Chains A and B, each alone.
Chain A
Amino acid sequence: MRAVWDIARLVLLEGLRNRLHHGILAFAALMLLAAVALASVTMGRTEMLVLDLGLGVLALFLQLVAVVFTIQIVQQEKENRTLYLLLTRLAQRWPYMLGKSLGVGGVLAVQAAGMGVLLFLLARFFGVFDALSYVQAVAATFLEAWIVAATALVFAQSSSFFLAVLFTIGVDVAGHFHSIIAHLGARAELALARWLAKLATWALPDLESVSVRDLAGIAPLAAADWWQLMAYAGLTVAAWTALAIAIFSRRNLA
C-alpha cells in the first residue's frame, strides 16, 4: 500500500501545482462572486440563492477538473514516459491505477474544500443557514466528481483525449438522468428497450442519488441516509477504479 500512497502523493502535488487548476480555481472564484452579485439583487433569501448558485458553480468546476485532469494525467504520463519509471518499480500494475484514483480524489477534495470554504463565507455574509446540510452538500458534490473521475480513468486508457472526454461526459450526463432512464425503461413496451434501460441503470453510476445540493442550507440528511450515500459513492468509485485496473493490467504499453 506504500506504493499506492507514493503515487497518489505525486498526483496530488502535480495537480495542486498545475497552473491550469489555478486558472480554473480563479475562474470558479469569479463565478462565485458573480453568483453573489446576482443573488444580492434578487428577491428572496439572499444567502440561499448564493448557496444554490454557488454550489452549482462548484459542481460544474469540480466535474470539469475531474474529467480534464484525470484524462490528462493518464494520457500525458504515457506520452511523456513517466509511466515507465513508475511501472518498472512495481511488481504489479494495480497500485499505479489505485494511486492515480486516490491522487485525483485528493486533488478534488482540496479544491472542493477551498471553494466550499469561500462559498460558505460569502453566503454567511448575507444570512444564517444550516451549516451541516451545507457541508454534506459540498462533500456529496466532491464524491460526485470523484465518481466521474473514476469513470474517466477507464476511458482515458483506451481512446484519444477527445473521445475519452466525450465518453466520460456521456456517462456523467446519463448518470444524472438515472431515475428517468429507469422510469422510461419500466414504461417501455419493447422488451429490448426495457432490457437496455435496465442494463444502463445497472452500469451507469447513479449521480442523481449522490447529489444533495437542493438540501443545502435547509436541513441535513438523516445519518442513515448520509452513510448510505457515502457507501454508494465509495463503492461506485471502487468499482470503476477496479475496472480501470483490470483494463490497465492487460494493456501493452508499446
Chain B
Amino acid sequence: MRPLLRVEGLRLSVPTGKLHLKHKTILHDVCFSVPEGARAAYLGPNGAGKTSTFRVLTRLVRPDAGRIHYRGHSFIPPACLGFLPEQPYFYRHLTPREVLSALARLAGLRQGVDARIAHWAERLGVAHVLDQRFAACSKGQMQRIGLVQALVHEPEFLLLDEPMSGLDPLGRELVADVLREVAARGTTILFSTHILSDAEELCDHVIVLHEGRVRYEGTMEALLASGRRMRLRYRAPKPFAAEAKALEKGVWEEVWPEEEAHKRLREVMQRGAEVLLFAPQRRTLEEAFAELVGRGRP
C-alpha cells in the first residue's frame, strides 16, 4: 500500500538542566511510514519518544532535523487530521457541546455540526453528558469526548495518543469497535498504546520505538511470524531435552526456534518417540515487543 504519512530522519532534542543549557536527544533519526488505510500501532516503553513524535507530527514542536511527507505537504494539514492528546482535558466551565462545536468549526466544518456531534457522541456513549459542564464529567467520559472531537470532522488521518487510557473494559471494546468502523471507511489510524493486546487485535501495521529509535516497522503479521518458534509434542518414557515440559504422564512438549526445530524433530523420531504435534507457535505481540525492546514492558 502507498504510504500516506512518511517520516524521515526525525531528530529531536530537549533542553535539560536548571538553566536549560544542556540538551538531551529524545528522537534519533526516526524513520517510518504509515500506509494509506492502515491501522498502525506506535508502541514503545515509557520515555521511548512516542508522545514527542506525535507533538512533532502535530507541529507543536519543531524537530532539530527530519522531514514529514503527507500528500505533498511537509505537515499534516489540519483539515485532514483528527488528534487525541494523551489524557485530554477540556474547559471546566463549558459543556462538551460548546467545545465540540467550536472545535468542529475550527476544523473547517460549516454545516451539519450538531448532527455530527450528536452522531459521534451517541456512538461513543456520551450523548447524555453533552450539555453538562466538563467539571462534572468523569475521566472516562473526557476520554470518549476527546475521541468525539477527533472524529467529528471525519478526518482522513487519526492520530491518537493512548486512546484507551482511562477506559473500563466495555469502554475499550466500544472504542475499538469505533476505530474498526472508521478504518473500514478508509481512515488511516496511527495510535500509541501500552495495552498490547488492543494493538494486536486492532492493528495491521506496527512501529516499535525504543530509546528514541525505531526498532521495528512493518506489518503485524510479519512481526508475529518473525522469529517463529515450533512446538514439538511427543510421547516417550523420558524427555529428550532438559527444556521439555511434561503435559501429562509420558507426554512432553518442547518449543524451538524454527531453524532448530526440524533437527530436533528428526532426533526425536530417530529415538523412537511418537510425535503427537509439530506446529508453529505464533508469538504474541507482548513476546515480540519484549524481544525488541530487550527488557521490561511498555
Binding site for B on A (CB under 8 A): 2-3, 6-7, 9-10, 13-14, 17-19, 80-82, 84-91, 252-254
Q: B85 contacts which chain A residues (CB < 8 A)?
A: 81, 84-85
* Interchain CA distance A89-B99 in the complex, whole Å: 13
Most B-side CB within 10 Å, residue of A14, A88, A90, A254:
A88
Asked if B78 and A88 make an inter-chain contact with CB atoms under 8 angstroms apart, the answer reads: yes
What's the minimum C-beta distance from A52 to chain B, rounded to whole angstroms?
Answer: 34
Q: B14 contacts which chain A residues (CB < 8 A)?
A: 254
Closest B residue to A3 using CB positions: B106
What's the minimum C-beta distance from A93 to chain B, rounded to whole angstroms?
Answer: 9
Task: Name the one of A10, A17, A84, A90 contacting B99, with C-beta atoms under 8 angstroms.
Answer: A10
What's the minimum C-beta distance from B146 to chain A, rounded to whole angstroms?
Answer: 8
Task: Name the one of B59, B93, B106 contacting A86, with C-beta atoms under 8 angstroms.
Answer: B106
Task: Name the one of A10, A13, A85 contacting B149, with C-beta atoms under 8 angstroms.
Answer: A85
What's the minimum C-beta distance from A106 to chain B, rounded to whole angstroms?
Answer: 14
Binding site for A on B (CB under 8 A): 14, 52, 55, 58-62, 77-78, 81, 83, 85-94, 98-99, 102-103, 105-107, 133, 149
Asked if A90 and B78 make an inter-chain contact with CB atoms under 8 angstroms apart, the answer reads: yes
Q: A88 contacts which chain B residues (CB < 8 A)?
A: 58-60, 78, 81, 83
Q: B77 contacts which chain A residues (CB < 8 A)?
A: 91
Task: Name the one of A7, A80, A85 contacting B83, with C-beta atoms under 8 angstroms.
Answer: A85
Asked if A90 and B106 make an inter-chain contact with CB atoms under 8 angstroms apart, the answer reads: yes
Task: Name the one of B62, B93, B103 contacting A89, with C-beta atoms under 8 angstroms.
Answer: B103
What's the minimum C-beta distance from A97 to chain B, rounded to whole angstroms?
Answer: 14
What's the minimum C-beta distance from B68 to chain A, rounded to whole angstroms?
Answer: 14
Beyond A19-B93, A81-B86, A84-B85, 17 additional contacts (C-beta under 8 Å) are A6-B102, A6-B106, A10-B102, A13-B91, A14-B91, A80-B89, A81-B88, A85-B85, A85-B88, A85-B103, A87-B58, A88-B60, A88-B83, A91-B77, A91-B78, A252-B60, A254-B55
Asked if A81 and B87 make an inter-chain contact with CB atoms under 8 angstroms apart, the answer reads: yes
* Interchain CA distance A17-B46 in the complex, whole Å: 38
The answer to whether residues A9 and B61 also contact, given A14-B93, A18-B93, A91-B78 and a CB cut-off of 8 A, is no
The answer to whether residues A13 and B93 also contact, given A86-B106, A254-B55 and a CB cut-off of 8 A, is yes
Asked if B78 and A82 make an inter-chain contact with CB atoms under 8 angstroms apart, the answer reads: no
* Interchain CA distance A90-B81 in the complex, whole Å: 11
Q: A87 contacts which chain B residues (CB < 8 A)?
A: 58-60
Q: A2 contacts which chain B residues (CB < 8 A)?
A: 105
Q: Can you name 22 A-B pairs with beta carbons within 8 Å?
A: A3-B106, A6-B102, A6-B105, A7-B106, A13-B98, A14-B91, A14-B92, A14-B93, A17-B133, A18-B93, A81-B87, A82-B90, A82-B91, A84-B85, A86-B103, A88-B59, A89-B78, A89-B106, A89-B107, A91-B77, A91-B78, A253-B60
Q: B89 contacts which chain A residues (CB < 8 A)?
A: 80-82
What's the minimum C-beta distance from A73 to chain B, rounded to whole angstroms?
Answer: 9
